[in-house]
Chains A and B, each alone.
Chain A
Amino acid sequence: MIKMLRIDDRLIHGQVAVTWSKQLEVTRIVVVSDTISQDEIQVSALKMAAPAGIKAFVLSVDKAAKMLNDPRADKLKVLLVLNDPKQVAALLAELTTKPAILDIANYGRVAGLDGRHKITDTVYLSDEEVQIFKELSQKGDKFIYQPLPGDAVEPLDKLLEG
């Protein structure tokens, strides 16, 4: 099962590798990206960033959906990490079973703040991205904002109203 889908510019880093992976007791961390999965250097570095005992994979959206929709994935505990809302929407459209938690944690600072609105201290969205999350929410894919397990859960819908 997919324990969480996390949106994070920094992909596999301390908060993901050390904190969430322990909290959720995951056995797989899967970075889903059509661009990064084609970059051998980035793939190799991400695989080395996985903590001991957890296997990391870097898959394209289509490949990830195919693997995650396989019945054998039911017994795995998976943490998905993505850094692009468009690809998040594409992946969610293809998944037969939705992730237990949809979390946006760190986003928008790497791509550049120009034209982005500050949603929280660590989330900056463009108009187009706000629209993507509103459409996802209407389809029932409700995101929360919770960078760390000890942080309060804030519904993204509510943050976007403000």
Chain B
Amino acid sequence: MAEISAIGETGQRPHTGGPVLSVENLSLDFPLRTHILHAVRDVSFTLERGKTLCLVGESGSGKSVTARALMRIVDKPGRISGGTVTLNTDGNPLDVTALPDGSKEILKLRGGKIGLIFQEPMSSLSPVHTIGSQIIEVLRLHRDMSKAEARAETIELLRQVEIPKPEEMIDRYTFEFSGGMRQRAMIAMALACDPDILIADEPTTALDVTTQADILDLIKRLQTSRGMAMLLITHDLGVVAEVADEVAVMRFGRIVETGDVDTIFHAPQHPYTKRLLAATVKLEEGRKAAQGGPAEWSTPILSVREMTKVYGGGTSWFGKVPSALKAVDGVSFDLHAGENLGIVGESGSGKTTLGRLILRITEPTEGKITYRPGPGEEIDVRALSKDKLRDFHRQVRLVFQDPFASLNPRMTVKQVIADPLVVTGGMSGKAIEDKVAHFLELVGLDPLAMERYPHAFSGGQRQRIGIARALALDPKIIVADEATSALDGSIRSQILDLLLDIQRQLDLSYIFISHDISTVRYFCDRVAVMHKGKIVELDAAEKICTAPEMAYTKSLISAVPSPDPRHKRMLHRHRFQA
């Protein structure tokens, strides 16, 4: 332990000069039933000590496969079909691609020389082993330690990744850790054997912005103190601008452009890089097509007053009263006709619950919802009977987050979109078909696609189908719960533009629930910031994003990575203690 932290703190390693890892013309093939898929073609890059290379690209571009191939982890039936990966940590270059499968050298390299952190902190650690035992395992595997030594070292590692009370946490299970904590534990594991190279595959994609900022911060510090080379894979250009030294842009299995971070952001050459940047920067700027101001809004179409939802607090058989949790705590807001109201907050802030409460999918504990479909009409949503609630649901629709899980895979697109129409009844088959075709056109899909099944569509197209389904009943309000978070950057802005376009045509109001502040800024007129079940700040989107008043909002806004390497925002961000 003492010896390793000595290396760690000074960052002194046997310096050999030259890149610690160089990849030359690496190609990966996946033989499929009908053809060979060239997942990665002729990829070359180098990793230097103490430097960070960011591999950027949209999903399916071959980033992750490339990174894993460096450790010779290639899922069957894939194989490395060409190129070399040369590891040079101690002056003796080693060609990783030439090593036999499952050989000792490969096992020594995995975890020993190259550490891996990846995306889903929820599932990347075993749920049935303690955090400690999973880290101790690596230490004993590569560093020949006794159990007691490994345990002491693990506690030290957990302390280094800033997990509070490491002596206790070492014996906890993964499900007792929050997402950020799990990612910290994962980092501790990847760094346990002091690797020369750290591969971080979308390490913060699943995390909240403030947690993301903390984790990136931590990774960066550990990298500097240990003098590691890092390969960071991400689709978020904001993250790239914050941490990268070098950037490689990947598309369809090829690297289309490489360069230092400033060149890529300020003088991109390849059209694809330019397009990626355009899609991102657009979100960062304010809303282009702001239509109307608050002055125009008269009576709100939907008013929510003192909405509260308490979970737990009942009595069990044994008379014990579990502590009650206020998921939503006294929330009030108005939604005007034609307005886009954003609700932002970190996970667990109660924003999704709020969306469900508005629709009464989850029954509120307290509060009042008033819906005004037309002038003079007022409906008390909480007093509605089951039948009347169904009418309400026809006018207030929900669009879900996950375009892959929210469409029934066994229904054709026509069935999916027509389902609400059929449930309502009173339409002939031909009329329904016409309507489906109309909505498909509206969301920018070919009406001929209606006979196909959801699996034939990409994520973005599926989300369009989900939107078409929500539109099918001519709604007045659409509640979009993280409707764009599962999508890649360029597709996300397409979907947002689509939603705005539809709004102009159909006179809709949106409640847009998201954790992504730049999206909200682009899309919404007003924004409500939620924290621990309460709305801490509710104001015009511009105001929230540029001049927030509350401490929590400040910390949230400043944690959003800025997609400009010349203005790194996270370095001097506000921290919020509560």
Whether chains A and B associate is no
